Amino acid sequence: MPVSIDFADIGQLDEIARAEALRQRGGLGTLDEIAGWLSACQGQAPPRTPRRARVVVFAADHGIAARGVSAQPAGSTARAAAELAAGTASLALLAGAGDARLRVVDLAVDAEETPPAVDGGFKVRRGTGSIDTEDALTREEAEAAVRAGMLLADAAVDEGADLLVPAELGVAVSTPAATLVAALTGTEPVAVVGRGGAVEPIDDNTWMRKAAAVRDALRRAKTVLSDPLDLLRTSGGADLAAVAGFLARAAARRTPVLLDGLAVTAAALVAEEFAPGARSWWAAAHRGSEPAHAMALEHLDLEPIVDLGVRRGGGLAATAVLPLLTAATLTG
Candidates 65, 53, 279, 276; CA nearest to 167 is 53
- pLDDT tens digit string along 6-50? 776 799 999 999 999 999 999 999 999 999 999 999 999 999 999
Q: What topology does CATH give the domain 51-321?
A: Rossmann fold (3.40.50)
3-state class (DSSP) for residue 284? strand
Q: Report which of 30, 4, 50 is spatially closest to residue 256, judged by C-alpha positions.
A: 50
Distance of CA 201 to the CA centre of its chain: 21
Residue 197 confidence class, pLDDT cut points 50, 70, 90: low
Report yes or no: 64 and 130 within 8 Å, Cβ to Cβ: yes
Per-residue confidence (pLDDT) for residue 36, from 0 to 100? 98
**H/E element holding 59?**
strand 53-60
Query: What pLDDT score does 85 carry?
Result: 93
pLDDT at 158: 97
Average pLDDT over residues 270-299: 95
Which sign, positive or negative, has the C-alpha torsion 207, 210, 214, 215?
Answer: positive
Half-sphere exposure of 126 (CA within 13 A, CB side): 8
pLDDT surpassing 70 at residue 199: no
pLDDT in tens, 208-263: 999 999 999 999 999 999 999 999 999 999 999 999 999 999 999 999 999 999 99
Give the residue extent of every domain in the chain.
12-48, 51-321
pLDDT of residue 145: 98
pLDDT digits (tens, 9 = 90+) for 76-128: 899 999 999 999 899 999 999 888 999 999 999 999 899 889 999 999 999 99
Q: What is the pLDDT of residues 159-185, one digit of tens each?
A: 999 999 999 999 999 999 999 999 999
DSSP 8-class letter at 10: P
Average model confidence (pLDDT) for the chain?
Answer: 93
**CA 291/CA 194 separation, integer angstroms:** 6
- Residue 153 near residue 253, CB atoms below 8 Å: yes
Q: Which of 155, 58, 55 is nearest to 105 (CA)?
A: 58
- Positive or negative, the Cα torsion across 313, 316, 320, 325? positive
